[in-house]
Amino acid sequence: MDSFRYISHNSYWHSVLDFGHSFFSRIRDCGEFLLYSSLFLGSAATGMAYTSCFIQGIPWTGHIAAVMFLIVFSVYNLNRKTDEAEDALNHERRFRITKKFERYLFVAALGAYLTALSLAAFYSIAAFCVVTIPLISGIFYSVPILPKWCAYHRLKEIPVMKNLVVSTSWALAFSLVPVYLGNAEPNAASMVVFMFIFCWTFVASVLPDIRDRCGDFATGVATIPVLIGVERSRHILTIINVLAGAIIIWSGSNFIPITAGAIIISSLVYSQICVISIDRTTKNDLLCDVISDGQFLTIGGLCLLVSSLTNLPF
- The pLDDT tens digits of the residues spanning 174-198 come to 999 999 998 888 999 999 999 999 9
Instruction: Inform me whether the pLDDT recorded for 4 exceeds 60.
Output: no
Instruction: Inform me whether the pLDDT recorded for 284 exceeds 90.
Output: no
Q: d(Cα 114, Cα 71) in Å, to the nearest integer?
A: 9
In a domain, 192, yes or no: yes
In a domain, 199, yes or no: yes
Q: Quick one: pLDDT at residue 313?
A: 45
Q: d(Cα 274, Cα 240) in Å, to the nearest integer?
A: 13
Q: Quick one: pLDDT at residue 10?
A: 57
In a domain, 169, yes or no: yes
**The residue type at 124:** S
Phi/psi at 4 (5° precision): -65, -45
What CATH number is associated with residue 202? 1.10.600
Q: Would you put residue 279 in left (φ > 0), alpha (ψ -120 to 50) or beta?
A: left
In a domain, 256, yes or no: yes
The string over 251-269, giving b where at least 16 C-beta atoms fall within 10 Å of a residue's C-beta and e elsewhere, is ebeebbeeebbebbeebbe
The most confident of the ranges 74-83, 128-137, 221-230 is 128-137
In a domain, 28, yes or no: no
Closest residue by Cα to residue 155 from 219, 222, 216, 93: 222
Domain hosting 132: range is 40-308
Q: d(Cα 251, Cα 245) in Å, to the nearest integer?
A: 10
Within 8 A by CB and 6+ apart from 78, the residues are 106, 109, 110, 113, 138, 142
Instruction: Inform me whether the pLDDT recorded for 270 exceeds 80.
Output: yes
Instruction: Inform me whether the pLDDT recorded for 273 exceeds 90.
Output: yes
List pLDDT tens digits, range 191-218: 999 999 999 999 999 999 998 888 777 7
In a domain, 188, yes or no: yes
In a domain, 82, yes or no: yes
Q: d(Cα 310, Cα 299) in Å, to the nearest integer?
A: 16
How many folded domains does the chain comprise?
1
What mean pLDDT, rounded, does the chain reach?
Answer: 84
In a domain, 98, yes or no: yes
Percentage of the chain exceeding pLDDT 70:
86
Do 126 and 180 meet the contact criterion of CB atoms below 8 Å apart? yes
Within 8 A by CB and 6+ apart from 27, the residues are none
Within 8 A by CB and 6+ apart from 14, the residues are none
What is the pTM (predicted TM-score) of this model?
0.86
